[in-house]
Amino acid sequence: MLRYLSVFLLAFAVFAAPAFAKTYDLDPAHTTIGFSARHMVISNVAGKFEKFSGSFEMDDKGALTKASAAMEVASINTGTAKRDKHLKSPDFFDAGKFPKITFVSKKITHKGNDYTVIGDMTIKGVTKSVTLKGELLGTAVGFGGEHRAGFHAEGKINRKDFGVNFNAMLETGGLVVSDQVKIVLEVEGIMKK
């Protein structure tokens, strides 16, 4: 009887043990946190954040379980200094009062390497649920023996939901800047030792 009890307890311990998550820090040299918005109805203007921090976790089966990031608004770069200055102003993101944009995952599901990540995004002090859809591109070992993993993901937000309301109307009736903004992420992380 004692032998059966021991076997049962051992089996319970094995199946009840939590999966050990591996944490990856974002590699800024190989990560792009970008966005694009329609300009004057006729073209898309893209930009990115030059400074950010973040991490993601993967379980022992290689599945994404958690993700978070913080972008420095003052590091916004669309390739035009005048436009960047305007985007940092109170008309748009108000970098002086709200220096960071953050994202924290709440629910992650996947089918194979295709992922849906639902999380809270905070812009200008307003937090809304955002859905990102993406793909695990793969894992690899770098030249220094470090373990790496990479993802691509995209999503859409309405900037006015976050209080980014500035706009001007064209004579034809269209908006100078679209309300909808596309988020494009190219992410590579390095596993913490």
Q: Residue 11 domain-assigned? A: no
Q: Residue 12 domain-assigned? A: no
pLDDT for 14 equals 40
Q: What is the pTM of this model?
A: 0.82
Reply yes or no on whether the pLDDT at 27 is more than 60.
yes
Q: Residue 5 domain-assigned? A: no
Tens digit of each residue's pLDDT (9 = 90 or more) over 42-81: 556 788 999 999 999 999 888 999 999 999 999 999 888 9
Tens digit of each residue's pLDDT (9 = 90 or more) over 169-183: 434 444 456 777 899
Element (H, E) at 71: strand 64-72
pLDDT for 139 equals 85
DSSP string, 73-142: GGGEE-S-HHHHHHHHSTTTT-TTT--EEEEEEEEEEEETTEEEEEEEEEETTEEEEEEEEEEEEEEEE-
Residue 25, domain CATH: 2.40.128.110
Instruction: Give the range of the structural domain holding residue 152, as residue numbers without chain letter.
Output: 21-191
Q: Residue 40 domain-assigned? A: yes
Domains of the chain: total: 1
